[in-house]
A and B are shown apart, each in its own frame.
Chain A
């Protein structure tokens, strides 16, 4: 007759009470796993949106470039040094790089107009700013004659369809006003809410024609791995010299990720409260069990069970409760985390009309499913249950045997 078997039988004698006590742990573990997975997913979504939207793994832009609001001046253009070009062309870490001309334009249909961001994209743009989440109605224009690709949000707002014509008006590099009548080649849903409602993509030649610029405003770089960005950025900074900023995707998203840390901390506090509640529930359950089983405890002690084994018996009951509840929470939370990693929540429809400015944010809320990250919540749950059962176990072990065996 093992202690574990006896503990299991004891635990099952008040099934309803055990279930209620363990429910808090189940919810706590589930909430922790799902919450962490969503926070992780949001973090990855932020980085991914920046990576595939405006930053790539690394972006090079003119010094003191504005980083807030819809502001993309073309007064200063980017000049890449020969050393920087050589590094971008020859370094084995570089998968692709591309020049971009980014500017602000007013898009007009005749009746309505909207201030937008226009991106003049070079031929290799899709290699640097990957388009795996893009859904395009119409086509992505490759020549100036084919016109522009508009974010689907712009199309919705102004009632523009594929094949319509719009006027793009902007200030040139020299400060003059220029406008062109362009065809709408396509409408794109990028999966990045900040881009869909504000951005148009133009063939680079069309963009440069509009702003009359000989040189780009940005260079985007894709490396073989995101993690290589900080080290490569150091080398690139040395090569580009003064007058240009080299920004990594990690730097670009650092502020948002810091905000995410606040969210993560808030989640941890909530989970802490839940676990504290579940610890109290388990302590109460074990305490009630100890009170109800005074005579049994006395009998076990009379039969030769030591105080330490009585403590072990009650702690084992707590551990079984915590372990089983942890497993259920892990199962449900893990299943949810896995499901939402495969089936994201589409925030696009929920958050239409929200102004994101320059904040790159994925329209799809995924979870970051990491089986390894589920071990800790399970360990925390089981440990909480064990710790919560120690005090009642100690009380039970200190009963006077002579009185306990005759307790009613």
Chain B
């Protein structure tokens, strides 16, 4: 079942002589439960494409549908609601709120998604990502790998349809990166959550079941793999 569909999605910056197409006429369908990596050189349009899917930005032309709903023309409140309920984000720099503890970071995401459960649910989810007993720590008291696990818990707490991970292993050593990828794939298999990665990391590509390659704002290859590596 298609969870996300892009038709002729184009993002243009500037105008006239300075006009630049970050992505141009992209047609793409993402099915539920995918574990997909978007690769390509810097400036190829990976991040712009994921921004469109994550409703962080809107296309200049074409359309983006999430669960069959077009995102174009939605109000700020409706887009925020869509992000809060359907889309989780994992960032290269973890982007945890530094004044909140690990558990409170997770609770905040729950609260924005309008979910009940509170502190206990947050602690349970942290335990699921291997952070049992660390819920009371602030981000600066955690390692990079631990922070990214908190970010994963935060992204998953609302049971989103899609998790968008922007270079999730870029700031991690290879052991921590592998552990994080193992965790994400386990969660993908357990909950059926769709994971979309923007990456330069060959290890992430190895884990992906689908690899979409972009160049100059267009998809140049779309490789589906039968089994996970």
Contact = CB atoms under 8 A, between A and B. Distances in A.
Interface in B78-120: 80-85, 89, 91-93, 95, 97-100, 104, 107-113
A9 B107 contact: no
Given A9-B100, A405-B95, A304 B83 contact: yes
B220 interface: no
Interface of B: 47, 51, 54, 56-57, 76-77, 80-85, 89, 91-93, 95, 97-100, 104, 107-113, 154, 166
A10 B99 contact: yes
Given A10-B99, A302-B56, A304-B85, A1 B111 contact: yes
A39 B100 CA distance: 47
B91 A305 contact: no
The CB with the most chain A CB atoms within 10 A, among B83, B89, B95, is that of B95
A301 B91 contact: no
Contacts of B154: 303
A401 B52 CA distance: 11
Nearest to B78: A306
Contacts of A376: none
The 9 closest A-B pairs by CB, nearest first: A304-B84, A9-B99, A299-B95, A402-B56, A304-B112, A1-B108, A306-B80, A402-B51, A401-B56
Interface of A: 1-2, 6, 9-10, 12-13, 295-296, 298-308, 400-402, 405-406
A148 B95 CA distance: 87
Given A296-B95, A303-B84, 13 more contacts: A6-B97, A9-B100, A299-B89, A299-B97, A301-B80, A303-B89, A304-B80, A304-B82, A401-B56, A402-B51, A402-B56, A405-B95, A406-B47
A299 B109 CA distance: 10
Nearest to B48: A402
Contacts of A303: 83-84, 89, 108-109, 112, 154
The CB with the most chain A CB atoms within 10 A, among B54, B91, B99, B112, is that of B99
Given A1-B111, A401-B57, A405-B56, A304 B81 contact: yes
Contacts of B56: 301-302, 401-402, 405
